[in-house]
Structures are given as structure tokens and as C-alpha cells.
């Protein structure tokens, strides 16, 4: 059978189209592009962050024990030594996520250290199976960070997460450590644990299954509400660092008024007060 030139051209176009369809997208990550990246589950790619929103480690007051423990764990990990996954749990606004970001900056600044921070959103937990192989092949060590991690009743996403963290045959990649923050120590609502126990054939096994996700974190760091003195120390530290032109007595009075309108005292409330005060004074807050 003779094939015309037009038919040959058509077959070539079809072949090229099939090659395009079959080709795998290039998802090579340029790990030199930034110090931190955000995982996009829809595109299965890591996006570099030009700037990380964080405060210097020295400005985080009232969490000295948590700071020292997380710093020690992170330094060991960056040096290629064994290190634990870390769960930072406790009250809102007490500095959990701020500490993770500040510790990363401090350790990454060490000479000869190539430490990256990758943010994984809670709703993308199911895509961990795609993300971990990408990080595992990276020439860097990486903190995989999930902020505000928790699971609602009947949410089964925690089961694959357990496997990915520790329980699977492959285990956690050697160059990855997982840091998460949560308002709950066991990541599950208390009523879920109670309900699981009441409906299970073996209640103790149900509790073990529900809370064992937390056990995948070898380092537990608790964060609690702070005293008035600690709150004022945080405010004073911020005001001194940013050279805010306000008297000590006025600063204290206004800081206390601010906390009363918010109904709480925390590092977050202190920072919000400082932002408001700096804006009123016409001063910028340069964090880098």
C-alpha cells in the first residue's frame, strides 16, 4: 500500500501529539531558589518562597524550654544525626508556628548547613505519598512543616499519615523530619476518642488506634497561656527591638488595655499590639 506525503505528515503529527500526552511533566525542584517552599498538591510541585513571615528567635519570650529543645533537635537533624518528629501543641497564639520558623532560620544560618523548610497544608495531607519521594531525592535536609494539624470526627486521613511518618516499610526518608503544630495534644477531638472506645469491641485498642498518631512524634512540646508579667516582657522586648518611641509606663498601660480588649494574653496578642502601635507611630517593622 502506498502512503502519500500527506498521510506521512498526519502520522508524524499524531506521533508528536502522543509524545506530548505521554511525557511526564518536569517537576524538578531548584533547591537553591529559596530557603522555604510550599507544596502545591494540585500541581504536585514545590513553589519557592521569596520571603518567610517570621520573627527573630531572640524575640520569642516565655518559651525558653521549648526553644532549647527544638533547637537541639533541629541542629542534630541538620548535622545528619538522628532526630525526632516534633509536635508543638497548646493554646492559640503562644508561639508554636513562630518558633518553628525562627528555629529553622537560626539553624539554616549556620555555616555549611543546607536546611530547607517545606510547608504542607492540612488539607493536602493525603498527597504526602507524592511529596515525600520528591524530598527524599533532594540534596538537602528538609523540615516538613504542617501548621494547625488536627482531625475531626470520622476523618480517616490520620491513618495514611501514620504510615507515612513511621509505620510503612520505607519509613520516613533520612533527610526529612516532620514538625507540626496543633491546639490538641492527641490531634483528635476528645469526643471522638470517647466514641471510639464506646463502640469498639476492644475499647483499649480503639484508644490506641486513635491516639497513636501523636506517638509518631518523638518530641512533644507543650505551650500554655502566659502570665501578665510574661506578656509585658514580650511587649517590652518587641518595643526595644524595633525602637518604638513610647515611654515605659505608657507602653505597659496600653499593652494591658489591648490584652483586655482581646480577652487574652499571648505572644500573638503582644505582636498585634506592637503592629498597631508601630502603625500609629508611623514606623515600619523590619523583621529581616
pLDDT at 216: 79
Confidence of residue 168 (pLDDT cuts 50, 70, 90): low
Distances (CA, A) of 222 to 49, 70, 95, 207: 29, 12, 11, 21
DSSP state string for 229-286: HHHHHHHHHHHHHTT----HHHHHHHHHHHHHHHT---HHHHHHHHHHHHHHHT----
> Pairing between strand 141-146 and 176-182?
parallel
User: 128 near 120, Cβ under 8 Å?
Assistant: yes
For the stretch 117-144, pLDDT in tens is 999 998 888 888 889 899 999 999 999 9
pLDDT digits (tens, 9 = 90+) for 21-66: 443 444 588 999 999 999 999 999 999 998 888 888 988 988 999 9
Predicted local distance difference test score (pLDDT) of residue 282: 95
Residue 22's region, left for phi above 0, alpha for psi from -120 to 50, else beta, is alpha
| Residues belonging to the chain | 288
Q: Is the pLDDT of residue 211 over 90?
A: no
Longest dimension (CA), the chain: 98
Distance between CA atoms of 207 and 235, rounded to whole angstroms? 42
C-alpha grid cell, residue 248? 515605659
Contact criterion met (CB below 8 Å) for 172 and 166: yes
Does residue 255 or residue 214 have the better pLDDT?
255
Could you tell me which of 162, 259, 276, 139 has the C-alpha nearest to residue 215? 162
Q: Which fold has domain 36-223?
A: Rossmann fold (3.40.50)
What pLDDT was estimated at residue 33?
92
- At which residue does the C-alpha cell 471510639 appear? 196
Please give the share of the chain, as a percent, with pLDDT higher than 90. Answer: 52
How crowded is residue 66: how many other Cβ atoms within 10 Å of its Cβ?
A: 22
Q: What is the pLDDT of residues 182-206, one digit of tens each?
A: 987 666 555 544 444 444 444 444 4
Domain ranges (residues) in the chain: 36-223, 228-281
Strand-pair category, 115-119 with 86-90: unpaired
Amino acid at each position: 500500500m502506498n502512503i502519500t506525503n500527506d498521510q506521512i505528515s498526519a502520522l508524524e503529527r499524531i506521533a508528536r501529539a502522543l509524545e506530548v500526552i505521554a511525557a511526564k511533566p518536569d517537576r524538578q525542584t531548584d533547591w537553591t531558589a529559596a530557603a522555604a517552599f510550599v507544596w502545591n498538591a494540585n500541581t504536585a510541585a514545590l513553589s519557592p518562597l521569596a520571603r518567610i513571615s517570621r520573627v527573630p528567635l531572640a524575640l520569642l519570650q516565655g518559651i525558653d524550654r521549648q526553644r532549647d529543645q527544638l533547637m537541639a533537635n533541629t541542629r542534630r537533624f541538620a548535622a545528619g544525626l538522628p532526630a525526632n518528629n516534633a509536635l508543638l501543641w497548646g493554646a492559640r497564639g503562644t508561639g508554636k508556628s513562630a518558633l518553628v520558623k525562627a528555629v529553622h532560620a537560626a539553624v539554616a544560618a549556620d555555616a555549611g548547613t543546607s536546611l530547607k523548610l517545606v510547608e504542607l497544608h492540612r488539607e493536602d495531607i493525603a498527597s504526602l505519598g507524592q511529596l515525600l519521594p520528591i524530598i527524599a531525592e533532594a540534596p538537602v535536609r528538609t523540615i516538613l512543616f504542617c501548621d494547625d494539624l488536627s482531625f475531626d470526627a470520622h476523618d480517616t486521613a490520620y491513618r495514611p499519615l501514620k504510615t507515612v511518618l513511621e509505620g510503612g516499610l520505607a519509613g520516613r526518608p533520612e533527610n526529612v523530619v516532620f514538625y507540626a503544630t496543633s491546639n490538641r495534644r492527641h490531634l483528635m477531638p476528645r469526643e471522638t476518642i470517647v466514641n471510639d472506645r464506646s463502640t469498639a469491641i476492644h475499647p483499649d485498642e480503639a484508644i490506641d488506634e486513635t491516639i497513636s498518631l501523636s506517638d509518631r512524634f518523638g518530641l512533644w512540646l507543650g505551650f500554655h497561656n502566659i502570665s501578665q508579667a510574661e506578656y509585658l516582657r514580650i511587649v517590652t522586648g518587641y518595643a526595644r527591638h524595633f525602637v518604638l518611641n513610647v515611654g515605659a509606663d505608657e507602653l505597659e498601660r496600653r499593652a494591658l488595655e489591648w490584652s483586655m480588649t482581646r480577652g487574652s494574653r499571648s505572644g500573638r496578642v503582644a505582636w498585634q499590639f506592637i503592629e498597631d502601635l508601630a502603625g500609629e507611630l508611623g514606623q515600619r517593622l523590619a523583621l529581616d
